[in-house]
């Protein structure tokens, strides 16, 4: 795990630096930092599904998150635009809206930040690929078989019971239980009939203003590991149109802290320009030729802006890859190219999808869309929950 200062000292340092930057905002800065500390108590209930919890479990969870009501009282009714307006400093206003889209709830930002400052959201060495490979190795060591390049055509359903799957080759594979970990928009309508979709989930697909998705126009470069930039840097730039929107700020992430990502003496530098549902529709409207042309234009424009900010990178940026929301859709069947679950805005309730359907027996759901905010932690937890549901059905212990 990557670790620099002890976690409790990171917030102390941040508070000092922000106050030094904007003394007029001292009171608001101290309030913000204190509520980040409160938000550190917010952890994802990962021991068992909430519908399996007993009263004692809820009491235990309530005690562990005793400070979260303070966060919700102070920041639960404003979005990040509202949070930014509490500060006088133009730079602090940008800080509050650089990390997440400005229409996201303010408490989401505090909880996300607190996950890092508490040490509960650290970064695994080797990143997602190394973590995935460890899961595969464990799975195979327990007798599991992995089939790749084997697309599934549909889930076989008979008399309201999942019986197995049919592959695109026409081969049928029967099973006692079926767990789906695919994108839910692909599951409902492609693998099983759309009528199975829970009512609460339908809201996400019919109200994009209330339940927006997050994707990105991203580029990764190979650079020398002598680059002086910090891990993550946000900076202003000449306006640029990506998707359907204008941007005048870009962030770059320097992965030189993880020596497993690149050969000796090299590092990976990545930029991610946020893309929304609106931007997805723009990319989707392009022909294949126009899509390729637009990508090449933007690669050149974004690269030029990075070099203007960091002249030392002139001639030292080797493009590794560039991808868009359509890339996530093509490879992962991801709804609107989203790599997180539906975001919660001020006008919407947080979507929580139970991992099984009343109308379909022997069938379970896992994946990032089951709970907000989505991503790999939720995907991993939901997989555990699916196994626990099967264990409960078989009247076995769910303690895993």
- What was the pLDDT predicted at 329? 97
Question: What is the average pLDDT score of the chain?
Answer: 92
Residue 388 phi, psi (nearest 5)? -65, -35
pLDDT tens across 253-288, in order? 999 988 888 999 999 999 999 999 999 999 999 999
Q: Where are the alpha helices (DSSP H) in 118-147?
A: 127-141
Specify whether the CB–CB gap between 210 and 345 falls below 8 A.
yes
* Of the candidates 379, 388, 382, the residue with the CA atom closest to the CA atom of residue 131: 379
**Residue 26 pLDDT > 80:** yes
- What was the pLDDT predicted at 8? 56
**What's the rounded mean pLDDT across residues 148-166?**
96
To which residue do tokens 């709830």 refer?
Answer: 105
Alpha carbon distance, N-terminus to C-terminus of the chain:
24
Determine the 3-state secondary structure of 3 from DSSP.
coil
pLDDT band at residue 3 using 50, 70 and 90 as cut-offs: very low
CA distance 98 to 111: 15
Give the best-scoring range by mean pLDDT among 42-51, 58-67, 274-283. 274-283
Specify whether the CB–CB gap between 247 and 97 falls below 8 A.
no
Determine the 3-state secondary structure of 269 from DSSP.
strand
Is 353 or 287 the better-scoring residue by pLDDT? 287
pLDDT band at residue 220 using 50, 70 and 90 as cut-offs: very high
Weakest-pLDDT range from 2-6, 84-88, 311-315: 2-6
pTM to 2 decimal places: 0.89
Q: CB-based burial of residue 113 (10 Å sphere; 0-12 exposed, 13-18 middle, 19+ buried)? A: buried
Determine the 3-state secondary structure of 38 from DSSP.
helix
CA distance 146 to 89: 53
Structural domain boundaries in the chain: 7-117, 142-209+340-393, 215-337
- Torsion angle of alpha carbons 302, 304, 307, 311, nearest 10°? -170
- What was the pLDDT predicted at 146? 92
Q: Which CATH number fits domain 142-209+340-393: 3.50.50.60, 3.20.20.70, 3.40.640.10, 3.40.50.300?
A: 3.50.50.60
**Residue 296 pLDDT > 50:** yes
**Residue 347 pLDDT > 90:** no
Specify whether the CB–CB gap between 242 and 217 falls below 8 A.
yes
Pairing of strands 360-365, 356-357: antiparallel
- 181's CB contacts (< 8 A; 6+ apart) are 365, 366, 367, 379, 383
């Amino acid at each position: 795990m990557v670790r620099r200062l002890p976690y409790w000292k990171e917030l102390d340092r941040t508070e000092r630096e922000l106050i030094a930057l904007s003394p007029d905002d001292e009171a608001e800065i101290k309030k913000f930092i204190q509520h980040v500390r409160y938000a550190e108590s917010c952890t994802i209930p990962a021991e068992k599904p909430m519908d399996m919890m007993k009263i004692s479990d809820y009491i235990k969870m309530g005690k562990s998150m005793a400070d979260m009501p303070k966060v919700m009282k102070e920041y639960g009714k404003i979005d990040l635009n509202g949070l930014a307006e509490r500060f006088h400093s133009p730079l602090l206003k940008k800080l509050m809206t650089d990390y997440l889209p400005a229409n996201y709830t303010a408490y989401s930002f505090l909880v996300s930040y607190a996950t890092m400052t508490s040490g509960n959201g650290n970064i695994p060495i080797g990143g997602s690929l190394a973590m995935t490979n460890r899961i595969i190795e464990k799975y195979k060591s327990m007798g599991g078989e992995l089939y790749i390049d084997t697309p599934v055509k549909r889930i076989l359903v008979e008399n309201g019971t999942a019986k197995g799957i049919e592959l695109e080759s026409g081969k049928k594979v029967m099973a006692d239980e079926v767990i789906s970990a695919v994108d839910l928009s692909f599951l409902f309508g492609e693998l099983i009939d759309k009528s199975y979709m829970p009512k609460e989930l339908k809201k996400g697909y019919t109200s994009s203003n209330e339940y927006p998705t997050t994707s990105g126009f991203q580029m990764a470069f190979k650079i020398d590991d002598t680059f002086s930039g910090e891990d993550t840097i946000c900076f202003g730039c000449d306006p640029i149109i990506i998707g359907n929107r204008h941007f005048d700020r870009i962030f770059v992430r320097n992965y030189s802290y993880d020596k497993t990502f690149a050969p000796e003496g090299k590092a990976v530098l990545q930029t991610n320009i946020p893309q929304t549902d609106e931007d997805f529709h723009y990319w989707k409207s392009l022909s294949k030729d126009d899509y390729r042309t637009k990508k090449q234009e933007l690669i050149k424009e974004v690269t030029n802006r990075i070099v203007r900010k960091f002249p030392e990178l002139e001639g030292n940026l080797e493009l590794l890859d560039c991808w868009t929301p359509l890339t996530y859709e093509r490879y992962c069947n991801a709804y609107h190219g989203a790599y997180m679950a539906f975001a919660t805005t001020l006008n919407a309730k947080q979507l929580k999808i139970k991992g099984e359907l009343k109308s379909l027996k022997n069938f379970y759901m896992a994946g990032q869309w089951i709970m907000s905010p989505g991503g790999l932690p939720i995907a991993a937890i939901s997989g555990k929950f699916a196994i626990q549901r099967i264990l409960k059905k078989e009247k076995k212990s769910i303690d895993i």
